[in-house]
Amino acid sequence: MAYRTEAPAGVPVLDLDLNKVAPAGAHWATLDQLQKEYPFLWTTYGRGHWVLTDPLAIREAFQQPDLFSSVSEVAAEPEPEYTWIPSNIDPPEHVKYRHVLNPRFSPEAVERLAPQAEGFCRDLIGGFLAKGGCDFMAEFAGVYPTIVFLDSLGLPVGDTERVAMWVRRIFDNLRDPDLHVPLAAAMEEVRAYFRDLIADRRVHPGDPSADFLTHLLGSDIDGRSLTDDEILNISVVLLMAGVETTTGQLGFMFHHLATHPDDRQRIIGDPSSIPTAIEEFLRVHPIVLPGRKLTRDADFHGCPMKKGDMVMLTIPCANRSEDAFEDPTAVHLDRKPNRHISFGSGPHRCLGIHLARRELATALSVWHELIPEYRIDGHAELSERGGQIGLLSLPLAWTPTP
């Protein structure tokens, strides 16, 4: 499918680089301002693509996969050399893969993991509690979702350290084309890891109700078994999508709470407020900027799109719009209703939505039970890495107790 690389005539044109390192909150501030000026624009960044900032248009685009294809979900990459499953699969084929995956990420399945997740969280915090400080991103936010991910799929939790390292290397290097060699090396290590596990499960299958790879080996699409390549693809996608997104959300939640003691005290004083608070953190701090590819020419909310064009659906603009939310850029922990789309919308809505919410809730509850008072110790920067915004570091400090 051909794609346009030159700016169309008569539309706003900017060189909008959301891939650069910037101070915390800078990317959201940029999109907040652009939304006030343009409902859409063309950026010359990369090979060129549309950026939708109109909240209604963004929400509608997610609901129209026949027009906005997911064959590429990175706006700056119109012709990827890969097809991630199920991320880059459009309906109706997409639904077939989701039917295989959905039961393992249902609310009931996630709740069965809650005791283990709490235990992992306590053990992890206990490892640095007496130090009186940590780099939250490196020592907690990047590790905790990894260990929960491995446990949820029946994979060895003893592999947490190296799996977390691979994910960190991949996402850190996405933002710099000159660093794609270490990125490729990390991706190959991840693939080799899952290849070995899949080969082992073929010889030594586990309980399919607890072991995800065994479950996939026993699953089928249209009456045929999944191939090893499909199982490998799915496994890599789940790791990439499930760990780093939760890591990013944890970083911004705790950045806010470290700098807003009144909100922190509300959570400490009333743990029942945590679910509502999480939805507000998700709304204010959306970290994913997904792309779509046009399947045909369309004048979409006044934007003159052509078949093959790439478009970025700026979830931050939908979540932080004055048309949809009062005082939209501020955190109000008791905000209701809160119809954000931080997990996307439509058929490609995030598969791990229930697991992510459980991880975030457990982290907030256990951390504030063990470390109720803490502060930022130093300077934290924010970077957007391949469509995901995340803190590079978050040094936190507290007074250790005997």
What string of pLDDT tens digits covers the 402 residues of the chain?
Answer: 466 777 788 999 999 998 888 889 999 999 999 999 999 999 999 889 999 999 999 999 999 999 999 999 989 888 888 899 999 999 999 999 999 999 999 999 999 999 999 999 999 999 999 999 999 999 999 999 999 999 999 999 999 999 999 888 888 766 555 555 667 788 899 999 999 999 999 999 999 999 999 999 999 999 999 999 999 999 999 998 889 999 999 999 999 999 999 999 999 999 999 999 999 999 999 999 999 999 999 999 999 999 999 999 999 999 999 999 999 999 999 999 999 999 999 999 999 999 999 999 999 999 999 999 999 998 778 876 556 899 989 999 999 976
Residue 349 has what DSSP assignment? -
Residue 304 in 3-state DSSP? strand
Residue 46: predicted pLDDT: 86
DSSP string, 1-47: -----SPPTTS-EE----SSEEETTHHHHHHHHHHHH-SEEEE-STT
Q: Which residues of 83-101 are buried (b: 16+ CB within 10 A; e: fewer)?
A: ebbbbbbbeeebeebbebb
Kind and range of the H or E run holding 135: strand 133-135
Q: Quickly count: other Cβ atoms within 10 Å of residue 180's Cβ.
A: 12
- Please name the residue that has the structure tokens 């603009």: 317
Contacts with 79 (C-beta within 8 Å, 6 or more apart), sequence order = 1, 3, 72
pTM, two decimal places? 0.94
Q: What phi and psi, each to the nearest 5 degrees, are found at residue 385?
A: -115, 105
pLDDT on residue 384: 64
What CA–CA distance (Å, rounded) separates 351 from 105? Answer: 7
pLDDT for 189 equals 93
Quick one: the chain helix, strand, coil %, rounded to 5? Answer: 50, 15, 35
Residue of 29, 46, 73, 61 lying closest to 317 (CA atoms): 29
Contact between 50 and 305 (Cβ < 8 Å)? yes
Angle at 30 (CA atoms; ends 28, 32), nearest 5 degrees: 65
List domains and CATH numbers for the chain: 13-397 (1.10.630.10)
The strand pairing partners of 305, in sequence order, are 298
Residue 384 bridge partners (DSSP): 389
